[in-house]
Structure 1
């Protein structure tokens, strides 16, 4: 049954926003934001189930797909795009798709989220299969693009999860591993880029980071497989090697240049 009044559409607890001082606006927004981590914490058992499912699929060559629209879609694409530089994985391991395509990352694409068939069409070029996991992201949990994609995935034996901020939504009902972070009314009524968006970002951080740690992409607490794509990251990699091997900066820098990654430098030096 369709959720006709998503929690994310409820009227703000505040009124006459335009009459508030700048200080009051900022304080009240911050007051609302402080509630988000507590809402996320309540969903840790649900997040755990989804993470373990993703890990089990990825251990046998599977991939993680995110689908979303608007802010939710952008957050999925963002999380996916940060996995290769952070953890040194292929850009085909975590894939984010947004309703309306890449144009929608910067500009709204009219009616893109209303097509129940389009998500599956967007996924087909990737040959998504039962080896993979599909996670739908939608604050209201009512977006046709995402629901249609999740339903079609389940019909094809693909594991599905979702991240939504409304209770009892059609998206959660359609998903095998639903995560429902109930953030309540937004400061500006219906503006889900605020608390709901923050909650989704936190959950996606938890999912991808935990998955990559469990797949061995972190050593100790270090990003040993990160891509050395700029001076800051080369410096970070050098410091990691200095700490791990107890060597001077010049030697650590040489080792990093020679082996091309923190992991390889440490591994080869321990062999010697």
Structure 2
């Protein structure tokens, strides 16, 4: 949460930067100065955070080095591992059973009686994605047993995790075959739908050169107009999206899917 003092500081730095560099100042420069001030206040123990900012990296890059894992709270760890093996064919990497560790508990927010915290943790990898799931079952304090499923338009927290697939219909049939899964809509008419064609006027590219490039805008229209996807919720309350055709976003670690045929070109249009 941004405190009032932090917001005031941000506004003051932004105004100073505008005065110094004119109205076309870089937002990155403002963000960097805000970060430098906060690091200056908090880096009293020689942790090295300030040293990172002396490089040419942008503030966001100075601290972040990649995606580590996605945590999923579960009530029965062996059953959860079995489920994700059936859903994603996950590869188990390591497991901590009845793990007790004071430092771990304190970092998780259990400052009172951290020695009493007990948890079992399994790390599993989804093949072909570079994505690791951290499945976590708390024994003490015991986890809540109620799993809440949220609608796609709900706010608060991550709403869904999207994975790319190369055969959306096969993926849909697979998801439906697992009785634990809940499609986002229970109607028998729900299926992977294709996004309708879009126009270049319906979106904007942040890079001004790309925004002015008609070929680039047309390419985005072609990509988006070929996307098919669907949502489902797993038994642990995680909402997943499977999508096909969304090139140019995210990371592809597997082979490229065959391109969709250009119907307009085939028709000579």
TM-score in same-fold range (> 0.5):
no
Q: Whose helix proportion is higher, 1 or 2?
A: 1
Bigger Cα Rg: 2
Which one has the bigger strand percentage? Answer: 2
Flag the structure with more relative contact order, 1 or 2, with Cα contacts below 8 A and sequence separation at least 6.
1
TM-score range, shorter chain: under 0.3
